[in-house]
Every structure is written in C-alpha cells, then in structure tokens.
Structure 1
C-alpha cells in the first residue's frame, strides 16, 4: 500500500485549498482530507475524507494507520479573534492537536509533519519594521501564545526525537474560495464581498493599521515548497518568517475603488484593533528565501484583481 498524505482541518480556509493543490499534484486518492465534521464541499468529496478530532490521539492514530499516512499537514486551529472569546478552548485545541501529531512523529508512525505558525507569535515589543527571524516574541493573544509555545515544541521534538516537522509563520491570508475563519485580518477578505454586494464596507481595523498580508496561492505554494525541500535545506525547526505584501485598510480601499468607483469605506475599530496593533508592519523573510527558495508572486494590485474576479464568479454561481 503506497504512503499517503493527511490534511487535518481540511474544511478550513487554508486546509481546503491545500487539499485541492496536493490532490492536483499527487492524485485524489493519495491525499486524505479530514476534519471534525463532515464536509459539504464537492471538491473535498472528490477524494477520501475522514471524520477526525485532532485532540483525540487514538482517533488520530487510527486514521494514520488505516491509510498508511506518511505526511501530515496539521491545519486545525482556533484563530486569533475566536480564541480571544474562548481562551481555554483555543489553547486546548491548538496545543493538544500539535502534541498529538508530534507524538505520532516521535513514534515513527508518520515521517514528515507540517504545522503552521503565525505572525501572532510577535508582540508589542517586537520590532515592527522588517521584523527579523530571531527577535523578541511576547505575544498578547491566546492564539499567539499557543503558536509561540508550539514553535518551541516543534524545535524540541526535532532536536530530541528527530521528528521532521516544518513550519512557516503565515501573515494575514486572503482568499475568495472559503469564508473568513475568525482572524484579525479578515477585513481584507470581507471588503471584497461587501464592495460587490453593497458598495460599502465598515472595517474593524483603523485606516492606518499596516499588516503583512498574503494571497492564498502564495501561501499554498510556500507550504508545499517547504515540505518538498530537502531535509538539509531546512535549517530552522521552530518556524520560518514568511512575508507577502504589507498594506493598510486605506491602501486596500484605494485599490478596490479603482475597480468600483462608487465604493465607500468606513472605520469602526473593535477588539481586534488591539491585536493588530501588537503585530509587525512588515516581515523579513530572507532566511526562507535563502534556505528553500521562497518567493512571492502576488502584489497588492494583483491580489485585488484576483479577489474581485473570484468573488464575482462565486456570486454568479450562487
């Protein structure tokens, strides 16, 4: 029986698109999608799907053994905005699921693991401009604390047990294919839907809030690239900085307005403003570039064009 790939959290924003991309590369039967509940997505139904609770080690182990899993992409997580509402649940999901997959690696039941970190590991004391790979990290959110702790556990399991775990710190991610997942950067997705629906949007972040963002295609390419890289190329076993393009809500609004002239933007900050204010403005990802060849393809102008076209196509289908 040939070895296969398992995506945990395949119904989520990243997991769903990662599943499609990996099935295109490896074939539908070679990539097992899984989530805590069944999927209504016809795309995910194109290949094997398993109900999997990532916090249940026995359930996890059973699925891995059943499908002869070699590689796990551990994408299940509670994101920043949602985890602030349910701190203990957020910590439990994010950390227990990580320990479960790391222990599968420790027991040699899987050979390679991807686990995503985030710019949420940084905090208000982190240098905001050109944030370096190694720097001060004092996160102020449950999500960020769990990701910082997770990075240290990944590095520990690699050094102590030889677990081949690889990670990148995602910036804010932008995609039209799945709905926002409760993150602090969700305004950069919602804006496109509202621009086409009502020609107006109220941002929950202030107009001058600069954050590093990335189009989903770049994030998926980076995720697959780091996993395909030779073992000797992966020199950082905590998590690699990853940068896309940094912009403010006002700059995004101006770019959208070029395509929808009557579009209007308002601002009313909520609790996510404090989270955003603790994060960097722009990231230095030179080590990812030098170690395993990371390079982004999408700038702000391209992202806006892709998002407007994509959201419009969804509305036409529905």
Structure 2
C-alpha cells in the first residue's frame, strides 16, 4: 500500500484507522473521506474530501484524483441503526459497496471492507463458531454483510480484484463514540462508569458476544492488507476476535478500578434479539494460520487502558 483512500473516515473505525495509517504511510498518502465534515484531526491533519459513496461518479473521481492503489471501504450503517432503517441500510451498505468494488476494479486497486459477526444467525453454531459455517442472519445488517462477503468473493474470482476482509466482533474504542451497533453497550459502560459510577445495560445479563479492542482491530486491518496474497486461502472474510464476555463480566472488571460501580438492566428487545442471534464465541484459527493474526489486549488489559484514556479525556472536557 502506498496511497490509500478510506471512506467512512469519521466513523468508529475510520477515525482511528486514518490517524494510524497516516503515521505509517504519511499524511499525504492517506485520503480520508466521509459524507460530512468536522473540525478534528482526521479532517485537519491530512487530505480530506466530502464523499457520498452512493455516488459512483464522485467516488471514481476522488480515487482517480489522488491516484490511490488501495481502497478501504468503511462507510455503512451499523446493526441497530440498520434494523430501524432497513431500506436505507440496503441502499447505503450494498449500493456503496458495489460502487466501491467497481471503482477498485476500474483503477486496479487493492480492496478492503469489513464484515461482521452479524453474518451469523440462530442456526449457526453458537460456540467456537468456525470460519466456514452456516450463515443465515435474521437482520438487515447481517443480510448486507453476507451479501457483501459474496460480492467481494465474486469480484476476486471474476475480475481478479485483490479483495480482503475481516469479520469483526464488537469493537471497543477509547477515541470514537459508538455509532449504532448492538455491541455499543461495551463502549458506553466505560463512559458511564467514569462519570456516574453506574450503567443501565440494554443487553441482558448472561448474553455473551465477541469483542475486540480497537488497537487490535486496526493492526488486524493493516496486517491483513500487507499479507502475502499467495498465502490467503480465505479472503472475505476472516473470523477475528479477542474476547467473549457478558455484561456482568465487564462490570466486574470495571469494579476492580471503580469499586462503587453499579450495574442495572433495562433490556432493549430489538438489540437483545440481534445479540441472541449471534454466536457466543468465534474461532479465529484460520486468520492465525493464513496471515498471523494476533491480539495484544484481553478484557483486563483493555479495561485498564480504557479507563485510563477515557478518564483523562473526560477530565479535559470537564475542566
């Protein structure tokens, strides 16, 4: 990768990925785009363009203008938001992806887009879910992601496009706020713990879901994109994960640092139904074998880092 175009650059993944990749490849070689603009480091710290990914002509012109060799397509509606706006989710998630693949094909770019554990459904094995298994999701987001995996595979086999992807679990970030995902409680809980020493979870106690700390997710994207293509048997997409926990377990870990922290439950039936349709834990063996996937953070280490970083950030905001 030498010149990279990132869509959805102001989202949860994009916000941190842009800055990390600029540090590696140079600020002028990572072009950030989003449908909106705001005054922060992503916009002010390097090249930024307004881009609606459903506009194929505009997408092509931006990619051609900067002579990019890699497209990282992140623009999408997340699971909970997609379920409340299913038609918009299809139009954005699938229409935008198709445009991205066409642009990558025309400009012969390497291509990445994330998938999700949302591709799995109630009939998928719940524990240690394998790389290759039943994918019958019951959400629009899941349908989008399964379709996206197949579409990326099609472009690889039909056109030889170098497509790659990861099935992300819930992602937890100390930088970007949640963006409408079912697993967002695992981000919100840290903010509430620091500010109010209590949290009301919309996910029921005992509901396990896979999670990953954002630094590990960013490394996974970069390492996959830099991996030797000849060693990749699977491409779209690799199971990756760092930990699996239920709400009370993350609350218990927080109490190691904030003893008075209290957990309550006010279950959201829509989000709970989505969570219950997903696996309790997934198997990332294939990613480890094909390109050396590894993590640096478990629940304990992530909690320590989240509380440290968020504590400093929230203190600055309140001062």
| TM-score category, normalised to shorter length | over 0.9
SS of 2:41's partner is coil
Q: Find runs of 4+ consecutive structure 1 residues off by over 3 angstroms.
A: none
Match of 1:198? 196
Give the gaps of 5 or more residues in structure 1: none
Match of 1:15? 14
Cα offset, 1:229, TM superposition: 0.4
TM-superposition CA deviations, 1:178-205 (whole Å, max 9, x none): 1100000000000010011111100000
TM-superposition CA deviations, 1:241-271 (whole Å, max 9, x none): 1111000100000000111111100011101
Residue of structure 1 aligned with 2:243, choices 237, 242, 245: 245
Cα offset, 1:237, TM superposition: 2.6
The alignment covers a number of residue pairs equal to 316
Alpha-carbon separation, structure 1, partners of 2:7 and 2:105: 18
Match of 2:264? 266
CA RMSD of superposed structures (Å): 1.1
- 1:155 aligned to 2:150? no
What is the correspondence of 1:133-282 to structure 2 with a 5 Å cutoff?
Answer: 133-270=131-268, 271-282=270-281
Match of 2:85? 86
Q: 1:57 to 1:65 in 2, by over 3 A?
A: same
Match of 1:60? 59
Cα offset, 1:3, TM superposition: 5.3
Match of 2:46? 47
Match of 1:294? 293
Query: 1:69, 1:110 within 8 Å by CA — same for their partners in 2?
Result: no
TM-superposition CA deviations, 1:25-79 (whole Å, max 9, x none): 0111110110001122134311000001111100000101111111011010100
Alpha-carbon separation, structure 1, partners of 2:166 and 2:266: 31
Alpha-carbon separation, structure 1, partners of 2:65 and 2:232: 29
What TM-score, normalized by structure 1, do the two folds share? Answer: 0.98
Query: 2:3, 2:30 within 8 Å by CA — same for their partners in 1?
Result: yes
Query: 2:10, 2:42 within 8 Å by CA — same for their partners in 1?
Result: no
Query: 2:185, 2:201 within 8 Å by CA — same for their partners in 1?
Result: yes
Alpha-carbon separation, structure 1, partners of 2:300 and 2:236: 32
Match of 1:104? 103
Give the gaps of 5 or more residues in structure 2: none
Match of 2:33? 34
TM-superposition CA deviations, 1:199-250 (whole Å, max 9, x none): 1100000110100000000000000000000111221132111111000100
Cα offset, 1:176, TM superposition: 1.4
TM-superposition CA deviations, 1:267-301 (whole Å, max 9, x none): 11101000000000111110100000001111100
Query: 1:5, 1:69 within 8 Å by CA — same for their partners in 2?
Result: yes
Alpha-carbon separation, structure 1, partners of 2:42 and 2:103: 28
Query: 1:19, 1:44 within 8 Å by CA — same for their partners in 2?
Result: no
Alpha-carbon separation, structure 2, partners of 1:138 and 1:280: 12
Query: 1:13, 1:180 within 8 Å by CA — same for their partners in 2?
Result: yes
Match of 2:120? 122
